[in-house]
Amino acid sequence: MTIRTTSKTVTFIAPFFLSGLDKVVPAGSYTVETDEELLEGVSFPAYRRISTLIHLHAQFANGEVVETVVIDPKELDAALARDAELAETKQRPDRRSV
């Protein structure tokens, strides 16, 4: 079985929550890794997602702790879309004062 891992950085402008997390996470940039396995027996390379992880960082007086949590990628996409809407709303001029 061949597995590939892709990594990307996502950035939230507001605190967010995902069901795989036990707390609201502060705004910031986070690394998300997706593992996919190569499907055998097909005539072209095709992969199936097997897990998506987010790495959460916390600063403490004695150093940094990284917690890795399995998340639902669709839920992450929805949270990023909500965050983008919030960012767009904050950038729009207030038309009431015109």
- Rounded CA separation 52/59 (Å): 23
Rg (CA), the chain: 18
Q: Global pTM?
A: 0.80
In sequence order, which ranges of the chain are alpha helices (DSSP H)? Answer: 73-91
The tens-digit pLDDT sequence of the chain (98 residues) is 799 999 999 999 999 999 988 889 999 999 999 999 999 988 898 999 999 999 998 766 777 788 999 999 999 999 999 999 998 887 766 655 54
Got the DSSP string for 32-48?
EEEEEEEPTT-SS--EE
Q: What is the pLDDT of residue 14?
A: 95
